[in-house]
Structure 1
Amino acid sequence: MSDILIECSPGISGDMLLGAFYDLGVPQKVIEKPLIDLGLKDLYHLEFKESKSCSIRGIKANVQNSDLSPIKRTWRSIKEVILNGHLEDKLKQTIYEVFESLAIAEGKVHGIKSEDVHFHEVGAIDSLVDIIGVCAALNFLNPTKVYCNEPMLGKGFVQTEHGKLSVPPPAVIELISQKKIKVLSSFDSIEGELSTPTGIALLSNLADYLEPPSKYSMNSYGVGIGNLKFPFPNLVRVYKINSFNDSSISEQINPRCEEISVQEAWIDDQTPEDISNFVEKLRIEGAYDVSYQAINMKKNRIGFSIQVILPIEKKELFRRLWFDYSNTIGVRERTQSRWVLLRRRGECSTTFGNIKVKQTLKPDGSITMKPENDEVLRLELEHKISTHEIRKIIKESSKKFKAFENWK
């Protein structure tokens, strides 16, 4: 079974992704069937046309709005249509998750409940067609894994129902923040919206890996063309591939040995508040870990012993941090080896919704999964139940895992 690689070249939008899947060979009747099943066939007209961007051919998806209703639908009403629709469970769940993430993002940036987000904020009929159509296309192809590269966002302003908004739009910022999506800044000098909220919502929910595989062969590809004119091709490519690395597990030694730097100092002339701020600075700058404790020093003064474990390539930076942000006049430093198991960050669907987790690969090939502690604390405060109960529910209800990164 083939995998799918989505190439944002340079950004991503729902209509470009839909055009690329059609160009890849997904029949239009497959794309439109769930729209018809949900009773939406009279609200739009979908057309696929050959087009070019900077002389590169592809398919442009055009959606004409036939919805004459003056009623502004909310995410609450759209949710009801989706959940009551006669769709297969897997497709229904995927469509629901994409819309929900977009509604949550829009709700947060507008300061309202996600259920009250208006239809034009979740997306007008064209976005409705794009999201449902792309989900249907991917469901039809049924890939083993979905990869994508990092999108670019652009700059400038975009016209919306709320007036002019800066690029990237607030919903895009919220989505990439929630999903921890890496973005590229190479084209941030280009005026225009390179990635739309709909495109980012699709990418963040459909991709299993937010980076391409290290090795793959290509079977076929499709090209979707965007509407905006840039001094470079404005397109999205979707490749049907065979990947050979399964996140590079087979090519990596587990556990693996690596060199680290350990730096430490004793300080007896700074306040606890200053020490706390300094420790936080070390963590922000990329320390693997920081530990500190109160100790008795010369002249019976109470001081602090601070030890930092850090990447070997950052030892010079951290030397400067010690002398710039603390009162120490000397730092002890040594290089050590450590053995670490392969791990990766991601999110898992549970009874509580999608939560951030970390997977660890044991030497025998088994995988353990642990929810991030910040997530456990958040859920404990929200649901007023114990940490033990939270972890038990997460363990029992964990379903699909989506990786944010490869094993490392």
Structure 2
Amino acid sequence: MRHLWVDASAGVAGDMLLGALLDAGASLVAVQRAVDAVVAGSVTVEVQPVTRAGMRATKADVVMRVDDPPHRDWRTIHRMLAEADLDERVRLDATRVFAALADAEARAHGIDAEDVHFHEVGALDSIADVVGVCAAVADLGVQTLSAGEVAVGSGTVRMAHGRIAVPGPAVVELSRGWRVRAGGEGELTTPTGMALVTTLGDACEDLPSMTVEGSGTGAGTRDVAGRPNVTRVFLGEREAATATASEGTPAVVVEANVDDLDPRLWPGVLTALMAAGAQDAWLVPVLMKKGRPAHTLHVLCAPDDAARLRDVVFAQTSTIGVRQAPTTKFMLPRVWVDVQVDDHAVPVKISHAGGVIITATPEFDVVAALARTTDRPEVAVMAAAVTAAAAAGLVPGAPLPPA
């Protein structure tokens, strides 16, 4: 597997990670093309070599070409990404990052995610950072990504809402499930940087065993004596997961019986739970006491995420109580392989065992986005993706393709 590991031990911001990826060999042309697809003619990404505390690094700068409004809301950014002529993987990754930012801001300020108005992260430079990083990751052919402990900083910093303690509330929310430490004075990690690491990253881990093929170092704006203000990346080959379905991982199931919720609200409830970190969420029709029809909401999650997801259930439904039970989740290892549909990349999720494909399923979110972009029925795009997967030999019983 082509793996990227992010060293955020000195902090991480969107421009720092972008600089590191460009330094590692990502195409500046590919990055600029993706940024132009979202904010055409508004910004230019420029790079220059710098030193930070004596360490060589690449500084990525987003140069403004137009005046920028003070903020944008999540609906606006979501629409910009949906309408842009982007590679589907880049579109999906960028949308996931901004969705995580919206959810973090919503939890921090006690409002609905749809009502979030981005300030610093809604500006053109942050949009360029997010889209640019996602494009760089795709250009490098990265299949899996992880990162180590993140230095978030300490002290206070002035933000749009005033002076706040470091780490700010959005960074705190985005760091759930990730190892963090102070690491120094000031704001070392921005919400955009944290969202990129924790959304695109599959795991928080120390440098894994891998064959290093390249590396990159991205610089922050400040040059701090005695502590290089940089984010580093390591790129290389890592052995594919060898776990089998016989090796389970601990999980939790949170449940609630609900008989008085408008059924039109259930799709939004399930979406909110998945955005908040649920591994799966589903409904089962039931008949309660006195013959009342109802639904049982089930939420599968990691044990550390259970408390947060219980809060989402209480906030999003009319239930006044939930139950929770430990369980064990058994999963086949999986990889993603892109196939081409109308010159667009559609990732196919492949589960496998013993080097043999068990299932091969096109990613539905990408299929749906491509259907909207091309004004075709989802069923037609899905059929084309299945046909492309079969033509590439991605069918049950076939050998697992080489990484």
Q: If the length of structure 1 is used for normalisation, what is the TM-score? A: 0.62
- Residues in 1 aligned to 2:68 and 2:147: alpha-carbon distance in whole angstroms: 37
Supply the distance in 1 between the matched residues of 2:172 and 2:301 (Cα, whole angstroms). 24
CA distance in 2, matches of 1:70, 1:90: 28
Query: Cα RMSD between the aligned structures?
Result: 3.3
Q: Deviations over 1:245-279 (max 9, x none)?
A: 73x859xxx98xxxxxxxxxxxxxxxxxxxxxxxx
Offset of residue 134 of structure 1: 0.1
Structure 2 partner of 1:152: 151
Check whether the contact 1:214–1:245 (CA below 8 A) recurs between aligned residues.
Answer: no
Pairing 1:353–2:274 present: yes
**Compared CA separation, residues 67 and 170, structure 1 to 2 (3 A):** farther
Q: Tell me if structure 1 keeps the 8 A contact 2:153–2:181.
A: no
Amino acid at match of 2:249: R
Instruction: Measure the CA separation in 2 of the matches of 1:236 and 1:44.
Output: 23
Helix, strand or coil: the match of 1:227? coil
TM-score by length of 2: 0.62
Query: 1:243 — aligned with what?
Result: 238
Cα 1:249/1:181, change in 2 over 3 Å: same
CA distance in 2 between counterparts of 1:222 and 1:90 reads 22
The one-letter code matched in structure 1 to 2:229 is N
- How far apart, in 2, do the equivalents of 1:19 and 1:161 lie? 25
Question: Shift of residue 75 of structure 1?
Answer: 1.4
Deviation at 1:66, TM superposition (A): 3.0
**2: CA distance between counterparts of 1:103 and 1:15?**
19
In the alignment, what sits opposite 1:42? 41
Report the 3-state secondary structure (helix = DSSP H, G, I; strand = E; otherwise coil) of the residue aligned with 2:203: coil
Partner SS, residue 41 of structure 2: helix
Match of 1:208 among 202, 208, 232: 202
Alignment of 1:182 with 2:176, yes or no, is no
Asked if structure 1 preserves the Cα contact closer than 8 Å seen for 2:175 and 2:194, the reply is yes
**Partner of 2:84 in structure 1?**
85
Match of 1:222 in 2: 216
Q: Which residue of 1 aligns with 2:227?
A: 232
Letter in 1 for 2:228: P
Q: 1:381 to 1:199 in 2, by over 3 A?
A: closer
What residue in structure 2 maps to residue 11 of structure 1? 11
Which amino acid in the other structure matches residue 353 of structure 1?
M
- Write the distance in 2 (CA, Å) between the matches of 1:241 and 1:53: 25
CA contact (8 A) 1:8 1:148 kept: yes
- Corresponding residue of 1:140: 139
CA deviations 1:117-150 (Å, max 9, x no partner) are 3242433211111100000111112223112101
Alignment of 1:161 with 2:160, yes or no, is: yes
Tell me, in whole angstroms, the C-alpha distance in 2 between the residues paired with 1:238 and 1:42.
29
Contact 2:72–2:123 (Cα < 8 Å) also in 1? no
Q: Distance in 1 between matches of 2:140 and 2:250?
A: 27
Q: Distance in 2 between matches of 1:377 and 1:124?
A: 30
Summarize deviations over 1:73-107 as a string: whole Å, max 9, x none.
Answer: 21111111111222232221111010111112123
Alpha carbons of 1:109 and 1:86: their partners in 2 closer, same or farther (altered >3 Å)?
Answer: same
The answer to whether the Cα contact below 8 Å between 1:82 and 1:96 also exists between their aligned partners in 2 is: yes
Equivalent in 382, 390, 395 of residue 316 of structure 2: 382
AA in 1 matched with 2:236: I
Q: Which runs of 5+ in 2 are unaligned?
A: 253-269, 281-298, 322-328, 336-403
Looking at structure 2, the residues matched to 115 and 121 of structure 1 have their Cα atoms a distance apart, in angstroms, of: 17
Aligned to 1:195: 189
* Contact 2:58-2:217 at 8 Å conserved across structures: yes
Q: Does structure 2 conserve the Cα–Cα contact (< 8 Å) formed by 1:30 and 1:137?
A: yes
Secondary structure of the residue that 1:229 maps to in structure 2?
A: coil
Corresponding letter in the other structure for 1:356: A
8 Å contact kept, 1:213–1:243: no
Counterpart of 1:240, as a letter, is: L
Secondary structure, in 3 states, of the residue corresponding to 1:67?
coil
Letter in 2 for 1:382: Q
1:258 is matched with: none
- In structure 2, relative to structure 1, the CA distance for the partners of 1:111 and 1:378 (3 Å cut) is closer
Is this contact kept in 2: 1:46–1:63, CA < 8 A? Answer: yes
Q: Is the 8 A contact 1:98 1:201 kept in 2?
A: yes
Instruction: Report the AA paired with residue 42 of structure 2.
Output: L
1:308-346, Cα deviation, whole Å (9 max, x unpaired): xxxxxxxxxxxxxxxxxxxxxxxxxxxxxxxxx552669
The one-letter code sitting in structure 1 at the alignment partner of 2:7 is E
The offset of 1:22, in angstroms, is 0.6
Q: Secondary structure at the match of 1:87?
A: coil
User: 8 Å contact 1:220–1:239 — kept in the other structure?
Assistant: yes
Matched letter for residue 211 of structure 1: E
2:73 and 2:122 in contact (8 A); partners too = no
Counterparts in 2 of 1:183 and 1:153: CA distance versus 1, 3 Å: same
User: 2:379 corresponds to which residue?
Assistant: none
Q: CA deviation at 1:356?
A: 3.1
